[in-house]
Chains A and B, each alone.
Chain A
């Protein structure tokens, strides 16, 4: 029966890590807007080549 102790620790760790992931996701604002991503996925990015010469590729990263 002592194996239950190990199982309990394992299950608590697993559930705790899920909770941790949720907290992280909320903190980073991933639940702020749940509508726009659903619209965004419907569109493709146009090919990176474009006719205008004044437009070098821009960084897509955001400052944190």
Chain B
């Protein structure tokens, strides 16, 4: 343990400050890309040198935060903390101060890097899995850096070579928030490179999932397939035009044959390369005895090519090559339109995306940073403030104050004493603690949830789409009509014409427009939803959203916002002097309650010296402030100080306040419900069955019961397994369930639900595997999203109707045996274009009807999300 963390010691402001400047602690606070933990501290840090000036808060030169309490000065610029000042001087040395001219506040609040934090990257096994390329002299690595957010970030990261001679070049991929760096391993080690990034405020995010993830091969095939089809389509159309316009009377039959053969050759790569996915998919669905839409498409393509081949080789005509190439081209365009995905939004993350890549192990030889995969049972680990407990463990030393909100949904951090059992996934929010692991990482309480069968089913490869349900009937109709035409003409004594009618029906019924209706509607819907702040995994999710009849909500982090907890004071109003004394005392503690109070009280109490600070974990804090003894904490803590409180305890988090032995009142810390949640629930209650699944205790039952209505099931103290089981039971009753949650404790229910909606506070934050990722500011727009999904599905159905009527016209022409390439060449693109225009326009209209496009009352936070 760090010696100065010992309890009950007499501390003055100076020694407190030394602790705050301890790089270890600040590094801990910065872990996970959040600087929340340091927010309270940074403001309270007075400078060690004479540079400190007591001025009105100026914006920090680097990060733009107000430099409360004076901060630092260097070169005439104010800085809020040592970290920011370090970044500035580093950039100044490298001649990169242009960085500050590029944006309002381009910098991210920096944290002093803990020198050993990245040491595990030098482990050859870890390095090998991270590096894209290495040849001894040069190496290339790609880091994911969630803090990349503006032009200045891109510029600074691409100028990295000016900060260290070992860095060759770096290239940023902004949408993916990645930087690829080429460096010389002889001059800079991987750990030093990561530390350099960390020092300038761009700490790479390295999680276990990152390491296990196979580098995805870039998807380039579809683009090439479209290019080949488009190339053939354009050229073949030119060769077909003379005949369509009757010009071959002038050019003669020689050219007709030449054009026919040219078209035949040009269409061959379309058939083999561009349409290859349709052959494969049709074959796969036939083998599984399912009629998907790809079956009639493949049949149509085959009929088109066979008919054209016969016409050209026998010299009867030119064939339908232009229609064939055009068909494939349109189909692939539809596919590309829907395939646009939100690259960096992890829809499939499991607990490994939540865990850090390395932990600090304490050995006889000292502390070392090791990869989390190497943690063994019995290891002694150091978990600093803001860090995760990676495996089930026993607390050895230090005051545990563990925030399980992400794992269990419990909103208040719990105090743990040495000897207590700690579950993996909790976040330590007090000082540093030392723990001994009792289970391997992969077998802890948290990770055992992933053994449920709900995680084994593959959600993406289902044939149960809207299109496929229609295509079954459609395919049957096509088969019946084509064989009927063949039989009818044969009976009438004209089997040649019958054969032509047979292929013609297959050709003209090729469901191009039908295949385009869903991709273009749902693709447009996906884009509009993304602009709204709801990111759906794929178009099929929208179909499921439209079927949902039951909504299950998590409470903590979903309906309530954990960070913006409100504070209410119950007692005689406090004077400003009293408030600043309380704030000054709270500033000395790292306890989350104290930090909440500091945030609540704002700038009060800055710079007031505190003497005789005492803190007892799980009890409270006390100190002399401006000559008065201020005591904050539990009833027992105040009672120990001679203040007896008579009132009966009501549930919730509370901090009692006493001054000089006089009871002042109690600070009530409430989890604030997101704005308009009450309205949302009442509104949804009219059309949906609602349920609440909370891991928290039931003290807020009354409040939520009013909003959820009488019939809703409210369940508290739910374990992750119980949540999953509840959703499963609802489904067994025939309900289509959407689960809305945010934490790992919801992971099972999100996965089991027909639709899992994960609520995130910002991009780059971890969210469990889900189908929809919803910006927290848009939770109240859930009703609009569901409404829009239903409208979108109706539009898809209408699109089917439109394309169906075109098919009806085409098929009646074909069955009569009078189909010509010209009719085909007009009908096919016309139907496709109509359906596409209809789908896109109607979806946009539906979005504005659902209120998705109207400027909402909430500020659109979605701008920080990657645009689709």
Contact = CB atoms under 8 A, between A and B. Distances in A.
A45 B95 CA distance: 11
Contacts of A56: 165
Interface in A15-40: 15-16, 18-19, 22-23, 26-27, 29, 31-33, 35-36, 39-40
B218 A36 contact: no
Interface stretch (B107-115, B227-235, B305-313, B641-649): B227-235
Contacts of A8: 262
Interface string B368-405: 00000000000000000000000000000000000000
Contacts of A26: 220, 223-224, 227
A46 B172 CA distance: 18
B784 interface: no
Contacts of B94: 50, 52, 55
Interface in B75-102: 93-96, 98, 102
B159 interface: yes
B234 A36 contact: no
A43 B162 contact: no
Nearest to A60: B169
A42 B231 CA distance: 34
A4 B699 CA distance: 86
Nearest to B96: A46
B175 A63 contact: no
Contacts of A31: 220, 223
B167 A23 contact: no
B95 A15 contact: no
Contacts of A59: 168-169
B168 A36 contact: no
Interface in B222-272: 223-224, 227-228, 231, 234-235, 238, 251-252, 255, 258, 262
A36 B174 CA distance: 5
Contact of B135 (A11, A32, A63): A63
A12 interface: yes
Contacts of B218: 29, 32
Contacts of B168: 58-62
B617 interface: no
Given A26-B220, A35-B174, A36-B174, A43 B169 contact: no
A1 interface: yes
B154 interface: yes
B822 interface: no
Contacts of B251: 1, 4
B255 A51 contact: no
B117 interface: no
Contacts of B339: none
Contacts of A51: 93, 95
Interface residues of A, number: 41
Interface in B157-205: 158-159, 161-165, 167-169, 171-176, 182
Nearest to A52: B93
Contacts of B231: 15-16, 18-19
A58 to B, nearest CB: 4
B224 A58 contact: no
Contacts of B227: 19, 22-23, 26
B167 A63 contact: no
A6 B227 CA distance: 24
Contacts of A27: 220
Contacts of B175: 33, 35-36
A43 B154 contact: yes
Contacts of B223: 26, 31
Nearest to B160: A58
Interface string B672-695: 000000000000000000000000
Contacts of B161: 55, 58, 60
A55 B159 contact: no
A42 B168 CA distance: 22
B151 A58 contact: no
Contacts of A32: 173, 218
B235 A43 contact: no
B133 interface: yes
A5 B102 CA distance: 57
Contacts of B140: 62-63
A40 B182 contact: no
Contacts of A63: 133, 135, 138, 140, 182
B269 to A, nearest CB: 10
A26 B220 CA distance: 7
A60 B159 CA distance: 10
Contact of A43 (B133, B155, B163, B262): B155
A42 B102 CA distance: 9
Nearest to A34: B175
Contact of B154 (A19, A29, A36, A54): A36
A58 B166 CA distance: 8
A40 B427 CA distance: 38
Contacts of A60: 161, 168-169
B420 to A, nearest CB: 48
Contacts of B159: 45-46
A33 B173 contact: yes
A26 B167 CA distance: 27
A5 B825 CA distance: 25
A42 B258 CA distance: 52
A43 B168 CA distance: 19
A61 B95 contact: no
Nearest to A56: B165
Contacts of B162: 46, 50, 55
Nearest to B139: A63
A61 B152 CA distance: 22
A36 B172 contact: yes
B173 A58 contact: no
A24 to B, nearest CB: 11
A6 to B, nearest CB: 13
A36 B173 contact: yes
Contacts of B252: 1
A53 B149 CA distance: 31
A60 to B, nearest CB: 5
A46 to B, nearest CB: 5
A6 B868 CA distance: 45
Contacts of B155: 40, 43
Interface string B130-157: 0001010010100000000001101100
B585 to A, nearest CB: 45
Nearest to B235: A15
B804 to A, nearest CB: 35
A50 B95 contact: yes
A55 B98 contact: no
Nearest to B250: A1
Contact of B174 (A4, A22, A33, A46): A33
B222 to A, nearest CB: 10
Nearest to A22: B227
Contacts of A23: 224, 227
Given A50-B94, A62-B182, A39 B220 contact: no
A49 B154 contact: no
A8 B96 CA distance: 56
Contacts of B158: 40
B331 to A, nearest CB: 19
A54 B164 CA distance: 8
A29 B798 CA distance: 39
Closest 7 CB pairs of A and B: A50-B95, A58-B161, A36-B174, A43-B155, A19-B231, A33-B173, A52-B93
15 contacts: A11-B235, A23-B227, A26-B224, A26-B227, A29-B218, A32-B218, A33-B176, A39-B151, A42-B151, A43-B151, A43-B154, A52-B93, A55-B165, A58-B165, A62-B182
Interface of B: 93-96, 98, 102, 133, 135, 138, 140, 151-152, 154-155, 158-159, 161-165, 167-169, 171-176, 182, 218, 220, 223-224, 227-228, 231, 234-235, 238, 251-252, 255, 258, 262
Given A15-B231, A31-B223, 10 more contacts: A12-B235, A18-B231, A33-B174, A40-B158, A43-B152, A54-B165, A58-B168, A60-B168, A61-B169, A63-B140
